[in-house]
Amino acid sequence: MPMHRRSFLELALVALPLPLVGQTPSTPSSTAPSPVAAGADREAKMRPLGPNLASYKVLTRETGGGLFVMEETNRTKGGPPLHLHHAEDELFYVLEGEYIVQVGEQRSRLKTGDCVLGPRGIPHAFARVGESTGRLLISYAPAGKMEAFFNEITGITPPGKYANDADMLRAYGMEAVGPQIPVS
């Protein structure tokens, strides 16, 4: 009988909603967010990243820290250097264009509709390689400090200036671990 009771108690704990066992970053906003139109930013702001542009779709505070989503429009080839996040998973979903995404040692060529996960603690990078403008939907879960990071680097010129600033990256839970993906 004790074995059955223990299994039942373990199952009951697993079935409890996460907030009851203290495993949620915080309580999400009590107001339902409104839709964000195509090409628009949640806060109607311009967010230049060098020649590229970011548009926030889901803000960190709207999910109680569980998720941050942005769309990045890439007008130039290339992308950030190989890096990792210590606390966030990063999902890359290609809305338009062609990219090479590296996760760990594996490089994949992604086109419209393709996606790949960059798990926390695993080095990853992306580079736009196609001839047309590229657009990525990038999601971070949990959100961590990623929205704050992009707020800080918005408008920095040259665009990659932050990439080699180890102290800045560390402050946002990241680490640069290699070069950019080469593009021709």
pLDDT in tens, 126-148: 999 989 999 999 999 999 999 99
Among 9-13, 125-129, 148-152, 177-181, the minimum mean pLDDT is found in 9-13
Per DSSP, what are the bridge partners of residue 106?
103
The position carrying tokens 């702001």 is 45
Distance CA 23, CA 158 (A): 40
Do the domain assignments include residue 72?
yes
Do the domain assignments include residue 155?
yes
Query: Looking at residue 135, what is its pLDDT?
Result: 97
Distance CA 96, CA 112 (A): 5
Do the domain assignments include residue 1?
no
Q: Is the pLDDT of residue 81 over 60?
A: yes
Average pLDDT over residues 55-72: 97
Query: Looking at residue 18, what is its pLDDT?
Result: 41
Query: Looking at residue 20, what is its pLDDT?
Result: 37
Do the domain assignments include residue 32?
no
CATH number for the domain that contains residue 50: 2.60.120.10
Do the domain assignments include residue 21?
no
Query: Looking at residue 164, what is its pLDDT?
Result: 74
Distance CA 88, CA 78 (A): 22
Do the domain assignments include residue 20?
no
Do the domain assignments include residue 36?
no
The pLDDT confidence band at residue 184, using thresholds 50, 70 and 90, is confident
Q: How far is CA 17 from the centre of its chain?
A: 25
Q: What is the domain range of residue 53? A: 41-176
Average pLDDT over residues 55-81: 96
Q: Are 90 and 121 in contact (CB under 8 A)?
A: no
Do the domain assignments include residue 88?
yes
Query: Looking at residue 10, what is its pLDDT?
Result: 42
Q: How many domains does the chain have?
A: 1
The one-letter amino acid code at 78 reads G
Mean pLDDT for all residues in the chain:
85
The pLDDT confidence band at residue 27, using thresholds 50, 70 and 90, is low
